[in-house]
């Protein structure tokens, strides 16, 4: 069998996944921290400010990668949800549920940094532009998934119900984006694209890409951390947990 396939198969086994997550965590967490430090240093301090008025554009280095992650995570969450519904693999249910709070966090960061960017640049904390409005809707889509899953007493049942909702949401996200864009151009006019990039200078781009990579690595770190914790909670009575803890290898 293809080794990659086999590895995926093995990850379905709780003890294997737990051990893998424990070993992998530092490999994602530390690079994420380092890359973020580099990216933020470059973006917040090194990139020249004479491009746009003032320094407030630097918030972009937090805002944009967070926005990307907020959308990417929802799609990934929906994929995990679909796998969980079709194949009912417990680990995928756990991974599915773990995605939601992380995605919501990135969405919240996107919204708040967007507001803090908007005020010095455009004079208002909140503008009903297409992106901010879509992000606000996305936040509620995340909250809906989280609330639905936790409303069920049985964790696995809740995960499956929430997976249906996540799939409905993922189908609707492009529609919502399109409709909000359409609505926005009708009411605000085409000219006001609040966070539009006119032309990105090379030196401005690098910190952005570094931050994008840093947020991805952080996401994997946080996902593995949460998944490991959920797995431990759900499997607490099992023998493999006892063995692993007694042998001191957890």
Partner 1 sequence: MLAWLESQGHWGFIYSSFAISAALLLADLLPPWLRQRKLRQELRARARREQQRGES
Partner 2 sequence: MNHLRPYTALLARDLRLAFRRRADLLMPLGFAVLVVLLFGIALGGTPERLAPVAAPVIWVTVLLAGFLSLDGLFRPDVEDGTLDQWLAGSSSIVGLMYGKALAHWFLYGVGMTLSTPLLAMLLNLPVDLLPVMLMALGIGTLGATQIGLIAAALTARLRRSGILLALIVMPLYLPLLIFGSGAVDAVRLGESPRAALLLLAAQTVLLLTLAPPAAAAALRIGSENPP
Q: Write out the two tokens for 182.
A: 């359409």
Q: Lay out the site mask for partner 1 across 230-249 (x = CB under 8 A, - = otherwise).
A: --xx--x----xx--xx-x-
Confirm if 87 and 11 have CB atoms less than 8 A apart. Answer: no
Minimum Å gap between C-beta 228 and partner 2 is 22
Q: Lay out the site mask for partner 1 across 6-45 (x = CB under 8 A, - = otherwise).
A: ----------------------------------x---x-
Minimum Å gap between C-beta 79 and partner 2 is 17
Q: Should residue 50 be labelled a site residue for partner 2 when binding is judged by CB under 8 A?
A: no
Taking contact as CB under 8 A, which single stretch among the options 6-14, 60-68, 88-96, 162-170 is the one that binds partner 1?
Answer: 60-68
The Cβ of residue 92 has, within 10 Å, a number of other Cβ atoms equal to 23
Q: Which does 63 bind (CB under 5 to 8 A by kind): partner 2, partner 1, none?
A: partner 1
Q: Should residue 4 be labelled a site residue for partner 2 when binding is judged by CB under 8 A?
A: no
Confirm if 11 and 21 have CB atoms less than 8 A apart. Answer: no
Q: Should residue 119 be labelled a site residue for partner 1 when binding is judged by CB under 8 A?
A: yes
Task: Enumerate residues 205-224 that contact partner 1 by CB under 8 A.
Answer: 218, 222
Which residue has 């554009």 as its token pair? 57
Q: Lay out the site mask for partner 1 across 91-110 (x = CB under 8 A, - = otherwise).
A: ----------xx--x--xx-
Nearest C-alpha neighbor of 18 from the set 218, 220, 248, 235? 235
For residues 90 and 199, give the distance between their C-alpha atoms in angstroms, rounded to a whole number. Answer: 46
For partner 2, the binding residue among 32, 62, 141, 241 (CB under 8 A) is: 141
Minimum Å gap between C-beta 155 and partner 1 is 15
For partner 1, the binding residue among 14, 47, 66, 162 (CB under 8 A) is: 66
Nearest C-alpha neighbor of 138 from the set 68, 190, 197? 68
Q: Write out the two tokens for 60.
A: 């972009």
Q: Should residue 140 be labelled a site residue for partner 2 when binding is judged by CB under 8 A?
A: yes
For residues 41 and 189, give the distance between their C-alpha atoms in angstroms, rounded to a whole number. Answer: 36
Phi and psi at residue 247, to the nearest 5°: -70, -5
Confirm if 124 and 141 have CB atoms less than 8 A apart. Answer: no
Q: How far is CA 209 from CA 37, 59, 165, 214, 217, in A?
A: 13, 14, 32, 8, 12
Confirm if 24 and 224 have CB atoms less than 8 A apart. Answer: yes
Kindly list the residues in this chain that would bind partner 1 in the complex (CB under 8 A).
40, 44, 54-56, 58-59, 62-63, 66, 101-102, 105, 108-109, 112-113, 116-117, 119-120, 218, 222, 225-226, 228-229, 232-233, 236, 241-242, 245-246, 248, 250
């Amino acid at each position: 069998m293809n080794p990659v396939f086999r590895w995926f198969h093995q990850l379905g086994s709780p003890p294997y996944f737990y051990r893998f997550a424990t070993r992998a965590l530092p490999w994602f967490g530390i690079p994420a921290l380092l890359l973020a430090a580099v990216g933020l240093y470059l973006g917040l301090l090194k990139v020249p400010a004479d491009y746009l008025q003032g320094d407030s554009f630097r918030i972009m280095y937090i805002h944009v990668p967070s926005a990307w992650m907020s959308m990417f995570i929802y799609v990934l969450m929906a994929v995990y949800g679909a796998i969980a519904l079709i194949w009912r693999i417990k680990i995928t249910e756990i991974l599915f549920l773990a995605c939601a709070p992380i995605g919501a966090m990135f969405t919240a960061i996107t919204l708040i940094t967007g507001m803090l960017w908007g005020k010095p640049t455009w004079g208002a904390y909140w503008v009903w532009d297409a992106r901010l409005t879509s992000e606000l809707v996305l936040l509620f889509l995340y909250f809906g998934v989280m609330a639905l899953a936790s409303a069920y007493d049985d964790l696995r049942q809740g995960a499956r119900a929430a997976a249906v909702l996540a799939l409905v949401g993922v189908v609707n996200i492009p529609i919502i984006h399109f409709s909000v864009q359409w609505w926005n151009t009708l009411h605000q006019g085409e000219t006001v694209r609040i966070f539009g990039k006119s032309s990105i200078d090379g030196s401005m781009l690098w910190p952005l890409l570094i931050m994008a990579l840093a947020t991805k690595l952080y996401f994997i770190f946080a996902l593995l951390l949460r998944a490991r914790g959920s797995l431990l909670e759900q499997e607490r009575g099992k023998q493999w947990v006892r063995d692993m803890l007694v042998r001191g290898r957890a």
